[in-house]
Structure 1
Amino acid sequence: MRTNRLRALRHLSGRTARRVLVLGSAMVLLGSGASHTAAWAAPTAPEDDPFYSTPRDIADRSNGTVLRNREIRMFGLPLRVSAWQLNYRTTGSDDRPVASIATVLVSATPWSGPGPRPLLSYQVAEDSLGARCAPSVALHRGPDSAVSSTVIEMPFIVDALRQGWAVIIPDYQGPGSRFLDGEHAARAVLDGMRAARSFAPAGLSTDSKIGAWGYSGGAFATLWAAEQRGRYAPELPIVGVTAGGVPVDIATIARDADGGARAGLTMLIVLALMRNATGPELAALMNERGRAVMVAESASCGTDLLARYLDAKIDDYAKTPGLLTHQAFLAAAQRQELGNQTPDIPLYLYHSTTDEVVPVAGFEALLRRYCSSKSTVVERHSSADGHNGTAMSEAAGALAFLTDRFDGTPLTPGCDRA
């Protein structure tokens, strides 16, 4: 099992092994006075923490209302950054009220640009089935295997804080950990922006410009929010969105990973789509072994699944062969695809031509849909090595795009493809 876990982590991200180094860099950049022997905070797990609970009167509150707040120490350390957790009202994809969590960060670096301090909503690639894997847990508790995605994306968050921006990191999968539920994610992101702007200690105002950024699973949530903004939260002044490694053509991603080193990704996608489904058709395709997995992995992180299902074939968990081409699976995946709405926000999209996780063909198809609908898109094909390499190498361009939008630099409408 130990060998399998190490292999899985290498295939998940070359950055995971460097998460302690990344966090150390964050502490230096943010001016931590903590020693190397400082103990990590160990807050209560979300399911046992009253802060995460849903208030009884949530149905009477409007979307984006802050229901509770508390100040925390990011990673449990005395960093030079103010940090709060917000419990706020949003609406799930089933149109029921949901209490969601987000972490708001404001560094000591002042904002020197035009207007009030801007807000960046950064969507971490949560990619999980359990609340213990959520970014709010990582940012409060510190690094462990369950929250490695948040920790390895800290350089991007730190860069944003160094610009003097406020940053909100939403648990956009919600208390039910609904991975690949686009509508739920979009609403949680947008209502998180509403909550942050109304939260006085963050120092924002209704005139604060807003940006959004995410990579991989975080890009999925980010672009869903961009597509839904016009009809769900048109008052939000979102001036720019950056997204890379966007999961498009979910069914193909699952088929490509099946039976190989990333087979745990296939399992994650199948289990997530079952959770998000409006009916029992997809779950009914699983055999007894598959039903046992549905129960056993109901709160697992993506790293857990990648470690446990190396080289697994999803049909070994299905009643009959061909689950990944079955109409029930294809329909569930199609409901979560991007490109059905035209974002009215300038976009900066980047993708590796050698992406081994998300085939570039799906990204190209999404670009064609956006460009044919007259979206304003700056697109960059990256020559970086694969999915994870592109996250690091193209981050500077993503940050520069957002910086220009917050500074008010003009952008020519249309599609700029390179």
Structure 2
Amino acid sequence: MRLRTLLTTAALGAALAAPVLTAPQAGAAPPGCDATDAQIYAAPGAVAGNPGDLLACRPAKLTNIPGDVPMHAWKVRYVSTDAQGQKIAVSGTVAVPDAEWKGGGSRPTVAFNPGTLGSGLQCAFSKQLAGQYVDMYEGGNLQLMLKAGYAVAATDGVGYLDGQVHTYMVGANAGHALLDIVRTSRQIPGGTLKADGDVGISGYSEGGAAALWGAQLAASYAPELKVVGAAAGGVPGDLKLTAKQLNGSLFAGFLADALVGLHAAHPEMPFDDLMNDKGQQAIKDVKSNCLYGTLAVFLGAKVENFSKQGLSLDQIYALKGPDGTSWGDIVDRQRLGVDIGTPSSNAKYKIGFPVFQYRGWLEEIIPHETEDGTHAAYCSAGINTTWKNTYPTEHLSTDWGAAGDVTNFLGDRFAGKPAQSNC
């Protein structure tokens, strides 16, 4: 899919995407898994429990996964940890194929984070998979994984419960939520997943950043999980480089999502008071739209037009919060490939399993420099890294074009096959 096709799809999606008024019927819930939809997405309040603890679940019929793969699936609400170390509630989906696992050992699980879906509450991946809203593109990728026999634990990401805002591109939030839903998947009443099953991590674009954060945090945050590989594509590893390219571009909506999402994670930082009337409306637009609506609303938008003083990105980065932390400091914390190393290193983030990174040759949204730079950082750190940048695709279509390679890469890891780094 070339640029024109993506923009045409965006325009059609913005015009046509609409909520489905009735959710599909699911089978009878096992005891203890009978929450209502409202309970899954209710405002979190005080959250107790350990990371990954199951708070609520309900059976789901995933009508937006094509192919009628026989499976049992659930919407889940679970405990995770935010970037400040506080306990939070997160929603997501767990799907387990009905077909017997014949690969040896316990059935493996793919921890999956979708690409950008938008920040409106209706955009939650678990809602879209269940047909309650249609503005996403990942169903076919999950079909491949489920047909291969793998369970899928797909997080919505932080910020899709009532009254919340998605913390778009906040690395620790994304990585924690992705790892924790694997823990959750093993607690579903009547479920069959076991604690010794292998874990693979996968995501593209926003999901690719989340996948690498999950990979970087796995050893310290979830050491009991047997993570054997991670696949991440279209990764905006350096948000400052990415923001510079997005500002004023056809894809400025992604920058709007990031600015609002970062503020949702850091409400102590200056933001709302800086906005002019156009900026206040922009915040409302981000909070109410899904992917294609956001792209349409912010087509060609420049960040300088939304604040009272016409602040540039660099001027925003210089602004400081009450403790002296600047917006630039917070953005830099999200950079991937920093202080990473092998298990025998002294690095903060230790990765002891193979990683597959990829991008399309015709990539037009994420700067090549940051995708290539993240790959180079992993290679320099001695991490077993497979790199592929030869897909004849642009940003969105690379997600589909690489899906077979991603499934095969994780399948080889589940089968215990060695990975040959091509650094």
- Shared fold, TM over 0.5: yes
| Superposition pairs of residues 320-331 of structure 1, within 5 angstroms | 320-326=309-315, 327-328=317-318, 329-331=327-329
Specify whether residues 13 and 350 from structure 1 end up closer, same or farther in structure 2 by C-alpha distance, changes over 3 A only.
farther
- Tell me how far 1:293 sits from its aligned partner: 2.4
Q: Whole-Å Cα distance in 2 between the matches of residues 349 and 396 of structure 1?
A: 14
Ranges in structure 2 where 5+ consecutive residues have no aligned partner: 26-34, 319-326, 341-350
Task: Label 1:119 to 1:250 Cα distance change in 2 as closer, same or farther (>3 A).
Answer: same
* Residue 334 (structure 1) aligns with: 332
Structure 2 equivalent of residue 11 of structure 1: 7
Aligned match of 2:149: 164
CA gap 1:340/1:201 in 2 versus in 1, 3 angstroms = farther
- Offset of 1:157 from its aligned partner? 0.3
CA offsets 1:340-397 (integer angstroms, 9 cap, x no match): 3423331011112331111111012112221222111111112412212322222221
375-384 or 398-407, which deviates more: 375-384
CA contact (8 A) 1:104 1:202 kept: no
Contact 2:360 2:392 (C-alpha < 8 Å) held by counterparts: yes
- Farther-moved stretch of structure 1 (324-333 vs 233-242): 324-333
1:65 maps to which of 50, 53, 77: 53
Question: Cα deviation per residue 1:255-294 (whole Å; 9 max; x = unaligned)?
Answer: 2222232222232222222323353334444333213322
1:233-266 Cα deviation digits (max 9, x unpaired)? 1111010111111112222322222223222223
Measure, in 2, the Cα distance between the counterparts of 1:247 and 1:370: 14
Q: Are the equivalent residues in 2 in contact too, given 1:324–1:330 (CA < 8 A)?
A: no
TM alignment of 1:173-322, pairs within 5 A: 173-174=158-159, 175=161, 176=164, 177-199=166-188, 201-277=190-266, 279-322=268-311
SS state at 2:63 partner: helix
Distance 1:264 1:384, change over 3 A: same
Q: Do the aligned partners of 1:55 and 1:67 also contact (CA within 8 Å) in 2?
A: no
Unaligned 5+ runs, structure 1: 1-6, 21-37
How many residue pairs were aligned? Answer: 382
> Which of 344, 365, 371 is the aligned partner of 2:352?
344
Structure richer in helix, relative to its length: 1
Are 2:88 and 1:80 aligned?
Answer: no
Task: Give the percent of matched residue pairs that are identical in Structure 1 and Structure 2.
Answer: 27
Mapped pair 1:113 → 2:103? yes
1:48 Cα deviation after fit:
7.9
Paired AA for residue 74 in structure 1: L
Measure, in 1, the Cα distance between the counterparts of 2:21 and 2:185. 29
- Residue equivalent to 1:416: 422
TM-score by length of 1: 0.83
Q: Secondary structure at the match of 1:351?
A: strand
Tell me if the contact between 1:68 and 1:86 (Cα under 8 Å) persists in the aligned partners: yes
Query: 1:391 corresponds to which residue?
Result: 399
Q: Secondary structure at the match of 1:49?
A: helix
Q: CA shift at 1:207, angstroms?
A: 1.3
After superposition, the CA RMSD in angstroms is 3.0
Distance 1:383 1:109 in 2: 32
In structure 2, C-alpha distance between the alignment counterparts of 1:416 and 1:213, rounded to whole Å = 19
Given candidates 19, 41, 47, the residue that maps to 2:23 is: 41
Q: Give the letter for the 1:325 counterpart.
A: D
Map 1:94-173; keep pairs closer than 5 Å.
Answer: 94-144=84-134, 148-149=135-136, 152-173=137-158
**How far, CA to CA, are the matches of 1:279 and 1:39 in structure 2?**
37
In 1, Cα distance between the equivalents of 2:53 and 2:248?
A: 45
